[in-house]
Amino acid sequence: MLQTVSFCSRHDAEKIPADARTVVISITSPGSPLAHLGEGFAAVLQLAFDEVSYPMRGQERNRMPISRSKVAEIVAFLRLWHGMPNGPTHLLVHGETGLRRAAAVARFAVEYLGLAHQQDFAFADATLLSRLREMAGLHPD
């Protein structure tokens, strides 16, 4: 059962030794190559979508924000691995820089599953977090 969550940059995630007690949500930008993660993680969900609140200069019109189907994938992934009593205990979420998208998805996991964390979510993409909550039917106090 998942108990903890952390988030980091793609660069840092690619250096983390794979661990069968960890599942990963790997977030890249559309058109970017997949992250080169070590083999041996319990599972890796790979997603590509743009930041919602902070579009890159010049890319405002060609952005691909998170879709309902990607939110459904995240929710299903979290439910699956959280529901396994003897399964992985840690969720790692990475994005390109690890500050906005990864932090928003990690915070969502904390709220949705009650996972423990030790990181600050100050730079989490607030619009993405709101969309995750809304599409998952989660309404925080």
Which pLDDT score is estimated for 56? Answer: 53
CA distances from 122 to 71, 84, 98, 101, 133 (A): 21, 30, 12, 12, 17
Higher pLDDT, 52 or 119: 119
Beta strands in 29-85 (DSSP E): 43-48
pTM given for the model? 0.92
Q: What is the mean pLDDT of residues 97-113?
A: 95
Asked if 90 and 16 touch (Cβ cutoff 8 Å), the reply is no
Which pLDDT score is estimated for 125? Answer: 92
At 54, list the tokens.
């902070």
- pLDDT above 60: residue 55: no
CATH 3.90.190 fits 4-136, yes or no: yes
- pLDDT above 80: residue 97: yes
Higher pLDDT, 62 or 41: 41
